[in-house]
Amino acid sequence: MIQVPEFSITRIEAYIKKGQYSKIIVLCDENTSRLCMEQLVKELPMPIERITLLPGEHSKNLENAAYIWDQLLELDADRKAVLINLGGGMITDIGGFCASSYKRGIAFINLPTTLLGMVDAAIGGKTSINIRHYKNQVGLFAFPEAVFIDPVFLGTLPKRELIAGYAEILKYGLIQETKVSQQEEDKYSDQKDLLWEYIKYEEPVNIPDWIPIIKTCVDLKEAVVAADPKEKGLRKILNYGHTIGHAIESFSLDIDEVPLLHGESIAVGMIAEAYLSYKKTGLSKEALNDISAVIIRIFGKYIFENPGYDDLIHYMHMDKKNQADEIRFVLLEKIGKALYDVPCTIKEIKESLDYYLTL
């Protein structure tokens, strides 16, 4: 069940007391152990045990899942224990997966410490691990018992990670106006009220108060997830930019010495998918130019070679959201309004990558 997040770490003490857990185990990576643990521990009413992973996407794998289950056993975690996932999406994804399968499910709490975790990965109930270089191939829908979002943790987050998280915020801006229910009226008659219209001018490193932006994103994700928790339809709009973006991410993990981050890959995907939207679903040329210019200004450009196209298409076929030979996309009718399940041909996809490379 979806839990409305609390917007301060100080609320966690009362929550833990109420839960009467037998044991608190904190899952972290080496960075969040060093930079975020102290802040958490001082709010907790009882001592903790900790399980620490190496940082980075490579850690979201089966070996580490087995290691976490093993450590939970070693620490005598029973069914009344709680796992607190202290970290970015890597930690909340693998931690949620392990907690919800250990002894058929123990409670877990997400405490996101990256911007991407706060607006996306820690909420919505998707948990997973990667297999080989394929993203999120094994996982469960499982909701945390609680989520505590506190921008205090962003203070130590490297600038590159902060900017990468901004990609998901831009994504919300691009899909925000999509109707959650058939009965719903158009919400934003005044275009100036749209999230996109103010976030597009911001420099992520200069934003003084994150709470209003994070809340807008969380509210939007929650409304969409509540309407379609298992991604049968509407929830797919949250994958805008992700079909090409995930392929770029896997591709980069495979070949680059310093691979692209998740958000950086999604940024590439959002431009290519805006091009597909221009070709197929009526997105205007001005909107395509606006989306491309904003994303390139914030993220710069990822240079990959044309021969890589076939690898990218292969990764798109591996994406669990695709059936047989068809590659289906979330595309935009206009900024703010998304459509899902729009099939595109390989030729069109290659053309969208060509467009990206000409920018």
Which residues carry out catalysis? 104, 126, 168, 221, 231, 235, 239, 242, 246, 262
91 makes contact with ligand NAD (CB under 6 A): yes
Angle at which helices 159-175 and 285-299 cross, to 10°: 170
Joined tokens for residue 116: 């991407």
* Interaction residues for ligand NAD, span 19-78 (CB under 6 A): 29, 31-32, 35-36, 55-57, 60
Spatial separation of the C-alpha atoms in residues 229 and 103, rounded to whole Å: 24
Residue of 23, 126, 235, 236 interacting with ligand NAD (CB under 6 A): 126
Report if residue 120 touches ligand NAD, rule: CB under 6 A: yes
CB of 186 to ligand NAD, least distance (A): 27
Q: In this chain, which residue has its C-beta nearest to ligand NAD?
A: 89
**Local structure of 291: helix, strand or coil:** helix
CA 230 to chain centre: 16
Least Å from the CB of residue 286 to ligand NAD? 29
- The least distance separating ligand NAD from the CB of residue 171, rounded to whole angstroms, comes to 10
Which tokens hold the place of 327?
């590659």
Sequence-separated (6 or more) residues with CB below 8 Å from residue 234: 178, 180, 224, 227, 228, 340
Task: Establish if 282 lies at the interface with ligand NAD (CB under 6 A).
Answer: no
Count of residues that bind ligand NAD according to CB under 6 A: 31
Is the distance from CB of 167 to CB of 263 less than 8 angstroms?
Answer: yes
Distance separating alpha carbons of residues 250 and 60, to the nearest angstrom: 13
Paired strand residues for 134: 131
Q: Name residues contacting ligand NAD, limited to 160-189 (CB under 6 A).
A: 161, 164
Per CB under 6 A, the list member of 110, 114, 250, 277 interacting with ligand NAD is 114
Q: Does residue 113 interact with ligand NAD by CB under 6 A?
A: yes
156 binds ligand NAD (CB under 6 A): yes
3-state secondary structure of 150: coil
Could you tell me the smallest distance in angstroms from the CB atom of residue 144 to ligand NAD? 11
Binder among 200, 236, 262, 328 for ligand NAD (CB under 6 A): 262
Q: Which residues contact 206 (CB under 8 A, 6 or more apart)?
A: none
Residues facing residue 52 across a β-bridge: 28
C-alpha to C-alpha distances, 222 to 6, 43, 104, nearest whole angstrom: 13, 27, 25
> CB 133 → ligand NAD: shortest distance, Å?
12
Q: Which token pair is 57?
A: 């996407």
* Residue closer to ligand NAD, measured from CB, 32 or 100: 32
Q: Which of 26, 51, 83, 121 binds ligand NAD (CB under 6 A)?
A: 121
Shortest Cβ distance from residue 94 to ligand NAD (Å)?
Answer: 8
Q: Do the beta carbons of residue 89 and residue 120 sit within 8 Å?
A: yes
Query: Can you give the binding site for ligand NAD, defined by CB under 6 A?
Result: 29, 31-32, 35-36, 55-57, 60, 87-91, 93, 113-114, 116-117, 120-121, 124, 126, 135-136, 153, 156-157, 161, 164, 262
